[in-house]
Chains A and B, each alone.
Chain A
């Protein structure tokens, strides 16, 4: 009886965990780690949030000025001159979204070289998308301030989610491929 129990336990231990279960465990772990890191380090420190908010506002102001708009940037506030301004608070800077995007890329199986590349490109593209979103807010609020709440609530679905879903989907496809240029 005893030897057969030993064999059974060896078989049980050697049974591999499915990729789907492993993804769910890793995704949960990465998300929990991100929440701890953000709530206990980044949020009290505030510098990362402030950097994302201020750089987003400044770059959106530069973009609008380049396109011929007369804008004024003061700290977190961007204003089309003579109109109502928009203040970019920390919750609007996209940091939570960047964490969610990165969590999926890290949790989904694939080679780390490609994963790092995908993370950096995706985070950069989302940062640029947030600049466009802030510029859109400034122009929209100058012209249709009565509808600003609606624009604010649904802007993520236009500016962020198509990009995130596209990059997630591409990562699920590309992570499987054997690439000659980027050895995995």
Chain B
């Protein structure tokens, strides 16, 4: 399982690196008024998951 995950991660990083090296980029971002605090919300979500999963074995 761990071996497969490592392979997957290395493959994804390699593909991304190759794409970026070709000059492929995201389209221009339009001017928007984004919803604020999404990073904070994500961090709280991570904390909830960490609290629930830290002692789980399986």
Partner of B45, one of A17, A18, A160, A168: A168
Interface code A125-168, partner B: CB below 8 Å = 1, 0 otherwise? 00000000000000000000000000011101100110011001
Interface size of B as a range: 20 to 34
Q: Are A43 and B27 in contact (CB under 8 A)?
A: yes
Q: A13-B3, A100-B42 are in contact. Are A19 and B34 (CB under 8 A)?
A: no
Nearest-neighbor residue (CB-CB) of A104 within chain B: B45
Q: Are A165 and B44 in contact (CB under 8 A)?
A: yes
Q: Are A91 and B53 in contact (CB under 8 A)?
A: no
Could you say which residues of chain B place their CB within 8 Å of the CB of A25?
5, 9
Interface code A90-107, partner B: CB below 8 Å = 1, 0 otherwise? 111010110010001001
Closest 5 CB pairs of A and B: A91-B32, A20-B53, A39-B26, A91-B34, A172-B52
Interface code B30-44, partner A: CB below 8 Å = 1, 0 otherwise? 111111111001101
